Amino acid sequence: MSKKLLAAAIAAALVPTAVLAEASNVTMYGRIDYGFMSRGGDNGGNAQAGQTGRQNGFEDGILGTNRIGFRGNEALGNGLKAIFEFEFGFAGDTGGAFSPTASNRHSWIGLEGAFGTVLGGRVDGARYSFVGQYDPFKNQTVANAGSLFGVTSGLGQADRADNAIVYISPEVAPGLKFLAAYTTNLLGEDGSNPLAAAGIGGNGTDVDAGDTPLYALAALYNNGPISFTLDYENLQVKRSVANGGSDLEFDLWVVGASYDFGVAKLSAYYENVEGDDTASKAISESDGWLVGLTVPVTPNFLLKASYVKANTDAINDADCKKWGFGGEYSFSKRTTAYATVAKLSADSASTCAISKNASGASGTATANGNSGAGYGDTGFNVGIAHTF
């Protein structure tokens, strides 16, 4: 059965028949990933009882989160198209959905034409996407970079942005595009503030208490072997009178670049977070960077390496540093075996740890800024992934 026919068959079980009258342009895609992960050792501020043994287990979504998605478009005439994309996330080890709503991934609708592209809905987070672009491990596996940045900034890296609208320009010069995005509430429902656990917000009687509006502006350059990204984001945290009354504001800067020499690809990334939260300097003053290398040893075999450092400027002995090494062997264009090792060193006041990915700020995020709790200062994983 073709992907389009299979997509229509699955969609028929989810939406009314009338909606599927024009479903022939719908394509289904997805990923399933399963492997083994082992972590252990002390790690700075997390060197506690229960954090010193070895933790072993089978895990899903190590090289990439498991998902099933649908995308499609409709030609509206005069070069204008309606486009949409929706992804279900699922746990490959249990078969269950990530949440009662069946999806915690992106879901958006938009228009595409000579003017560029406009999207609205739940979209991929800008900062999270950019570090994934320049991290050789794509913000995945035990070597991922983003989980360290989430610890030191306190804000984490929002893997998805709710209530968002995004504009992507057409090419204004060869390889150069611009992006502008705005969300009325980055983290979801009104009055709900997942950042409260980090001490920078809270709920109350105020109508907008807990809201987190954010806007982002980015320049994106991809031309031949060169890639470059410059991103600025402004985040506000609305606080109730009971939690100090005054709103908080954070400025985030991201710079990323890579050059593909053919025999190897070199990449680098830097981010800086500064804000006016005088009660929590650990959150409002931090930065992080990485350098990475990807080497195609053969057409089917990649070697990867990265070094990541993140720190909080206002707290002594709070730095995190991590080395990562790994390899990927492609049996085909869609099936890949992988293995990764990572070693971090965390100062005594740091709470960095090893985790399988770098999912960021959300209502279920842990204090480590990850979708699953970090553990230990050494780790390795092996597994296999298939895309369709």
Q: Residue 127 pLDDT more than 90? A: no
Q: Which pLDDT value is given to residue 184?
A: 86
User: In which band, very low, low, confident or very high, does the pLDDT at 143 lie, cut at 50, 70 and 90?
Assistant: very high
User: In which band, very low, low, confident or very high, does the pLDDT at 11 lie, cut at 50, 70 and 90?
Assistant: very low
Q: Residue 65 pLDDT more than 70? A: yes
Q: Which pLDDT value is given to residue 346?
A: 76
pTM to 2 decimals? 0.82
Q: Residue 45 pLDDT more than 60? A: no
Q: Residue 199 pLDDT more than 80? A: no
Burial class from Cβ neighbours inside 10 Å (0-12, 13-18, 19+) for residue 385 reads buried
Q: Which pLDDT value is given to residue 146?
A: 84
Structural tokens at position 52: 């010193």
Structural tokens at position 87: 């992804």
Burial class from Cβ neighbours inside 10 Å (0-12, 13-18, 19+) for residue 212 reads buried
Q: Residue 137 pLDDT more than 80? A: yes
Q: How many helices (H) and strands (E) does the chain have?
A: 4, 17
Mean pLDDT over residues 226-246, rounded? 78
What are the residues whose beta carbons fall under 8 Å from the beta carbon of 155, sequence distance 6 or more?
195, 198, 235, 250, 252, 273, 283, 360, 361, 369
Which range, 138-147, 194-203, 373-382, is most confident? 138-147
Q: For residue range 95-123, list pLDDT tens digits in order.
A: 665 554 455 688 999 999 999 999 999 99
Q: Residue 17 pLDDT more than 50? A: no
